[in-house]
Amino acid sequence: VQDVWDEVAEERAEFEAEAPGTPEREMEFGDLLFALVNVARKEGIDAESALRASTAKFRRRWAAMEQMAAGAHVDLAELSTHGLNDLWDAAKAEE
């Protein structure tokens, strides 16, 4: 598996070497995702199932953040990154 992680590191470096917002960077991002899927395969993990589970977790936590913000009469769009992270941590702690 370490060889595959080395490939992930190589793909990340290639991604970071491309200019932001370019088609080349987008292509390298796809290569990085593909390398991560290969890690999952080597680890016996169904990458699609893992992504679905993470997405569901994110959606639960975001919904909790929205409820907390509404309860405090706060607009999420107006919060700083720090404020959003605080709400995220609170939502995470509730799980």
Q: Give counts: helices (H), strands (E), the chain.
A: 4, 0
What pLDDT digit, counting tens, does each position of 35-90 carry? Answer: 999 999 999 999 999 999 999 999 999 999 999 999 999 999 999 999 999 999 99
**Where are the domains positioned within the chain?**
2-45, 54-94
Q: Which of 49, 60, 50, 56 is nearest to 92 (CA)?
A: 60
* H/E segment holding residue 53: helix 47-71
What pLDDT digit, counting tens, does each position of 1-32 carry? Answer: 999 999 999 999 999 999 999 999 999 999 99
pTM score of the predicted model: 0.79
